[in-house]
Amino acid sequence: MGVENYHVIELVGEGSFGKVYKGRRKNTGQTVAMKFIMKHGKSEKDIHNLRQEIEILRKLKHENIIEMLDSFESPQEFCVVTEFAQGELFEILEDDKCLPEEQVQAIAKQLVRALHYLHSNRIIHRDMKPQNILIGAGSVVKLCDFGFARAMSTNTVVLRSIKGTPLYMAPELVREQPYNHTADLWSLGVILYELFVGQPPFYTNSVYALIRHIVKDPVKYPDNMSSSFKSFLRGLLNKVPQNRLTWPALLEHPFVKETSDELEMKELHATSVATRGCNPTWRGEGNANLASNVSSPGGKIDAPAGFQDKNSVNTPNAQLNSPNSILGNNSHLEEFPGFVSPNDVKHSGCQTLDKLEDNSRTVKGAQVISQDTEALTHILGQLQRWSEMSQNSCRLCNLNSLSFYS
C-alpha cells in the first residue's frame, strides 16, 4: 500500500521533522493522520535509524499511544500513517487555562500507562509536551510523536535541544548530560503541574534564564493541591535522576494507582473493543462505497511532490510475545540502569483471557488475547451459548467443559 491509496485532505500540523496531513484511506473511508518526513539534510545513519525506528513503532499497540497503521517512502521522504485524533491537550490549556485536580488525575493515569508501556519496551519519548498529547474519542488520551526524535543522531538532538524551548525538559537534558527513561517522567510532572496550575513550574521568556531555573530553583506548589498530588509531583520533579520516582514504585503511588472499579471497567472495555473489532463496519472498513463519494471541502489535495510508492518500509509482521521482545537482543536503544521490566503486569486487564493465551499460544500476531478477534469470537460465542441454556444438568455439563478458560 502506498500514498496513492489515500486522499490527502488538509494540512493539520507542521513540526521540526515534517508536515502532518489529515487523510482518508480510499477503500475504507477511515480518517488518518499522514506524517511526511523529509530525507534532505539527514545522514545515511539517520535514515537507517529512522527506518529501524518505524519498524519498532509499527509493533507498539496500546490504547494510550497513537497507533501506526502504515508507512512507506520515496527517494525524497518518508510517510508514516497513524490513527487520527482530533484534539490536542495544548488546546485545552489554551481554552481552560487549568483543570480541576480530578481531571488532571484521570489524564495522569492514562499517561502513566502509556509511558510504562514505552519504557517496558525500552523506548524513551524525549519530547513530552502538551502538543504531543492528543485527545481521542471518549476523552481517551493518546501519546504521539515519540521515537522519531531519538531516531536521529546525537548531534541532531543536541542541536534541536538548544534551539527549542526547554519548558518540559529534565535538568540533565538541558545540561546536555547523559539521561535515561526518567527524563520522560520529569516531563510528565511538568505537564501535570501545568494542567493544574495553568503554567509550567518554571516559566520565562529567556531561554537561558529558563535553563538556570530548571537546573537550580525549587518547584513551588500551590496550597490548593492535594497532598497525594503534591507527593506524586515531588517524586517526578526531582532534579537528581537517580532519586526520581520511577517504575515499579510509580505505579503504586496513590495518585495514579488504579482502583478496583477502574480495573473492572478497563477489563470490560478491552473485551468490548475486541468484540466490536470483529465487525469490519465498526472500524470504517465497510464504508468503501461511502468513501468513494465523499470529497473534502477544498477538493483532493495532492501528496507532497515527488512522492512515489517505490520503496516500501513494510516488513512481515512479527510475533509479539512480551513487551520487551520488540527490539530483540541487538537493540541500539538505551539501557535503563536499575530498571526492572514488569513481566507480571496485566497488559490487557483480562486475567482469564491472558491466561488462556499463555496456555494455548493460539494467538497469531497479537500481543494479548484481547487483540485476537478470532479467538475472542470463539470464546465469547461459547460463553453466550452457555449463558442462554436452561438451568439443568446439561448446562452443568457444559459448565464443566468450560473449565479450561479459568
Q: What is the pLDDT of residues 128-165, one digit of tens each?
A: 888 888 877 777 898 887 655 454 444 444 333 333 46
pTM over 0.75? The answer is no
Task: Express each pLDDT in 233-291 by its tens digit.
Answer: 999 999 999 999 999 999 999 999 988 777 777 777 666 655 554 443 333 333 333 23
Point out the least confidently predicted range of 51-60, 138-147, 229-238, 351-360: 351-360
Instruction: Considering only CA atoms, give the Rg of the chain.
Output: 23
Q: In what order do the strands lie in the sheet containing 141-143?
A: 87-88, 133-135, 141-143
Q: In what order do the strands lie in the sheet containing 311-312?
A: 6-15, 18-25, 31-38, 77-83, 68-73, 311-312
Domain ranges of the chain: 1-84, 87-257, 261-287+346-406
User: Is 39 part of any known ligand binding site?
Assistant: yes
CATH of segment(s) 1-84:
3.30.200.20
The whole-angstrom separation of Cα 358 and Cα 347 is 13
Residue 155 φ then ψ, to 5°: -60, -40
95: annotated active-site residue: no
Q: Scanning the structure block, which residue is given the C-alpha cell 469490519?
A: 280
390 confidence band (pLDDT: 50, 70, 90)? low
Taking residue 93's Cβ as centre, other Cβ atoms within 10 Å add up to 18
Residue 128 · residue 191 · CB < 8 Å: yes
Fold agreement (1-84, 87-257): no
381 confidence band (pLDDT: 50, 70, 90)? low
Structural fold of domain 87-257: Transferase(Phosphotransferase); domain 1 (1.10.510)
The whole-angstrom separation of Cα 368 and Cα 346 is 10
331: left (phi over 0), alpha (psi -120 to 50) or beta: beta
91: left (phi over 0), alpha (psi -120 to 50) or beta: alpha
* Closest-CA residue to 272 (of 163, 138, 388): 138
Q: Among 70, 96, 127, 372, which one carries the catalytic annotation?
A: 127
The whole-angstrom separation of Cα 178 and Cα 152 is 16
Residue 35 φ then ψ, to 5°: -105, 120
CA neighbours closer than 13 Å in the CB half-sphere of residue 24: 20
The whole-angstrom separation of Cα 320 and Cα 131 is 30
Tell me: pLDDT of 102 over 90.
yes
Residue 72 · residue 2 · CB < 8 Å: yes
Residue 247 · residue 113 · CB < 8 Å: no
